[in-house]
Every structure is written in C-alpha cells, then in structure tokens.
Chain A
C-alpha cells in the first residue's frame, strides 16, 4: 500500500544535539512538507519542497534544516539552534496539482531530555 512513513515514532534530544527525523513516501508525490504541532495550537509549516533538490522555508524555519536528494525522501534536522524543539512533527506529501489535498504521516514526537 502507498503511504507516508515517519520514523522514529518517539525521539529524545539532548542539549546541544542535532537530531534527524525521517520521512519517506511511495506515492510518487512531487511535493513534501514538514509541520510542527504544539499543544493547543494548530499545525505550523516548517519547510516544504515542490521538487527534488529544491525546498523553501515555511513560517517557522529557524533552527531547522532539510534536504531533498530523492523524490521519496524529505528528512528534517532539528538543530541545536532550535531552543524549544519539544513538539509533534508531521510530514505530508501531495501531487503538484494546484491545491491538491495533503496526505500525512503518523508523526514523530520529539522531546528534550
């Protein structure tokens, strides 16, 4: 079955450490997205990519980095510059058709030790 796989489900970060969240899709979607969800808040866009080797900052990109070397993969690195990384991170993908619906992965809960 086609879908979006996020790993790990739970991740813990130590002070000063960079961590990478994995997102893989086998839907042949061109566009991929990373959202952050905090309690009591909606989802906020971190980064998105419309095509391989290209990506753009979203609303809250500071302290995060991404790469898009393959169509299927869009990993997110939470750097030590992100001072409040504890959140639920959701990856999504869509076709490049205008305003096509987003399909989401099952998410990664990141916590600080």
Chain B
C-alpha cells in the first residue's frame, strides 16, 4: 500500500517570502504521479501542480515549483513571492499507474498562513 506523509501540520510565511512544504511517500511502484492540491477556506480543492515520476525535470507553474527526489521519495512544494491568497491547506497526493482511474492517496495536509 502506498502512503503519503506530510510532517508539517502548520507553517507560516510573510508576504513576498518563499516557503517550502515537505512531502514524502512510500511505494514499490516505479511509474507514478504526484500532485499538490490547495484547499482554501472555501474548502474547494484546487490542483496546484503535477509531477510524473519518469520525468527528471521538476514541474513548475508560475510561482509554484517542486523538488522531486525520486530516490529519496521526496516531493516538496516551493511557493515563491507568497501572497495572502496562498493561505490554505496544502495536500500532497500520489497515484500509481495501475489502471484508468486516478485513485489518489492523500497526505494529512499542511496548513499555510501567509501574513503581512
């Protein structure tokens, strides 16, 4: 069974600063996908970024980037130039290439507070 661990329950960052959220996972699969989802106070789940395990290049989406270390099974999210609207719960998620359904396994989340 796959597991996803987010060891930082809460984090805080000042506006315009950079913050990194950690995520580790455990799997015996070789081909898989990793995701970061954001859940703001509205509780709507929003995809932030996605990484394919077979790609060595780290994914980037505007101010969001990942540091994917496959050997270490680590998948951290870096948010640059933090904005007040980045305040949310952030969930790391994993799915293996085992079928046509994208069954995601989620971590317990990191609550990020962006302050002035």
Chain A contact residues, CB within 8 Å of chain B:
30-31, 33, 40-45, 48, 50, 56, 58, 88, 90, 92, 94, 96-104, 106-107
Contacts and interface: CB of A to CB of B under 8 A. Distances in A.
Contacts of B101: 31, 33, 48, 50, 56, 94, 96
Contact of A101 (B42, B50, B100, B105): B50
Contacts of B108: 40-42
Nearest to B100: A96
Interface of B: 4, 9, 32-33, 35, 42-47, 50, 52, 91, 93, 95, 97, 99-109
Contact of A45 (B32, B33, B103): B103
B54 to A, nearest CB: 11
A45 B104 contact: yes
A43 B105 CA distance: 8
A9 to B, nearest CB: 10
